[in-house]
Structure 1
Amino acid sequence: MTKIFDVIRKPLLTEKGQILREKNIQVFEVATWATKHQIKEAVELLLQSKVKGIRTVRIPSRTKRLGRFVGTSSPRKKAYVELVEGAPASE
């Protein structure tokens, strides 16, 4: 069994995320290998509330440049988790 923090890396605290929190949607950066079922189980254990729906977005790696050195950023995956109305959410 995988651990919660292997699946959920960190919450994403952005302006868009704050607007979505008012609509009861939490945004997390998750592991690229995580499925929606694994994300749902991890969020329900972490936040102690029911999940209504999950949308995931894959962000591919990008080429980064610093002077003459070229590298790539790591690929990421975000999960938009909609919680059930009236369920307690973490602040």
Structure 2
Amino acid sequence: MKNPRDLIKRPVITERTSDFMEQRKYVFEVDLRANKTEIKQAIEQIFKVKVTNVNTLRMPAKPKRYGKHSGYTSEWKKAIVQLSADSKPLEYFESSV
């Protein structure tokens, strides 16, 4: 298995994802090549929790302009992780809210 800290890049914290935290759902930016089982194992290993469900989606590149220069943002992958009812909430998110 790959290093779990290479698969999970960063948490995604927005208004919508902070509403997910009440339902024990957490959102992460993950590696584009990571699959659901790798993401599940990485979250369980890093945070020592039990994951029940993982949903993934690819965020497409968007066109951006800066003056006369134009280009695209990077494509990235987002994972929504559902924790089991008996697992503890992630402290990483509790300190930032």
> What is the Cα deviation at residue 86 of structure 1?
1.8
Q: Given residue 24 of structure 2, which amino acid in structure 1 is its aligned partner?
A: N
Per-residue deviation, residues 39-75 of structure 1 (Å, max 9, x unmatched): 0010001111111001111011111111110111100
Count of matched residue pairs:
91
TM-score, length of structure 2 as denominator length: 0.89
Q: Does 1:52 align with 2:59?
A: no
Determine which structure has the larger helix proportion and give its number: 2
Per-residue deviation, residues 14-50 of structure 1 (Å, max 9, x unmatched): 1111110000001100011100011001000111111
Query: Which structure 1 residue ranges, 5 or more long, are not aligned?
Result: none
Segments ≥4 residues shifted beyond 6 Å = none
C-alpha distance in 1 between matches for 2:81 and 2:90: 13
Q: Does 1:37 align with 2:45?
A: no
8 Å CA contact 1:27–1:78 kept in 2: the answer is yes
SS in 1 for 2:56: strand
Percent identical pairs in the alignment equals 36
